[in-house]
Structure 1
Amino acid sequence: MEKPVQPLESITPAVMSDPAKAERRALLMEKAKQLEAGFLAEMLSYAGVKPSDGMFSGGEGEEQYTSFLREAQAKAIVEHGGIGLAENLFKSLVKHDTGFD
């Protein structure tokens, strides 16, 4: 079985010694996590909670709040390691980042 995604430890001490670069990297990681959460929320919309029918239906309120539930579930998944998409996006963003060249 594959090891779960670990927090990024590969940022070199040289990068971390420059506060501007460290702040930029933190911003890139946050954006990568937001994108992964959005992706997961969309995936959950096709695989997850469906509105109930009949007497116990939540009606319009259920339809409105189901999207909030999916977003919260997706954020929780990302905060607990996610599926590795954020880390791969982060690595790609860092590789192509020209903000400090």
Structure 2
Amino acid sequence: MDNSLSAALPAATPAPQPIRTANDPAATAQSFEAVFVGQMVRIMMDTAPSDGPFSGGHGEEMFRGVLAEKMGDAIARRGGFGLAPAVLNQIIALQEGGA
């Protein structure tokens, strides 16, 4: 085996880790609700028939996950299902040392 090529390569350095900063608990709770609602929408869309004269075909199938994610974001921004306030209360309780 020829080691001349591997000897010329620099040693791999670990990727820099992102700096952890204190996130806004309300934004975190809303983001959690958006992901949760998006997953529910995706499951709902998977059970809906996707054939027929107005079907988007393969293109619709490819972007269905993106649509579900964006719908989850939009629903959460407009108040969602009320999950974000409950999650926010738990985040605050955990930050204060309670459970």
* In the alignment, structure 1 residue 78 sits paired with structure 2 residue 40: no
Moved over 2 A (4+): 46-52, 54-60
Q: Equivalent residues in 2 for 1:19-58 (5 A)?
A: 24=22, 27-48=24-45, 50=48, 52-54=50-52, 56-58=54-56
TM-score, length basis structure 1: 0.61
CA contact (8 A) 1:33 1:86 kept: yes
Return the index of the structure with the highest Cα Rg: 2
What percent identity do the matched residue pairs reach? 35
Aligned residue for 1:83, secondary structure, equals: coil
- In 1, Cα distance between the equivalents of 2:84 and 2:52? 40
How many residue pairs match? The answer is 76
Q: Which residue of 1 aligns with 2:58?
A: 60
Separation in structure 2 between the aligned mates of residue 36 and residue 44 of structure 1, nearest angstrom: 12
Residue by residue over 1:18-71, the C-alpha shift from the partner in whole angstroms, topping out at 9 and shown as x without a partner, is xxxxxx5x6111111111111111111222364622565423221111111111
Q: Tell whether the 8 Å contact from 1:36 to 1:86 is kept in structure 2 after alignment.
A: yes
Q: Which has the higher helix share?
A: 1
- In structure 1, stretches of 5+ residues that fail to align are 1-23
Q: Which residue of 2 aligns with 1:21?
A: none
What do residues 72-91 of structure 1 show as CA deviations (whole Å, max 9, x unaligned)? 11111111111111111011
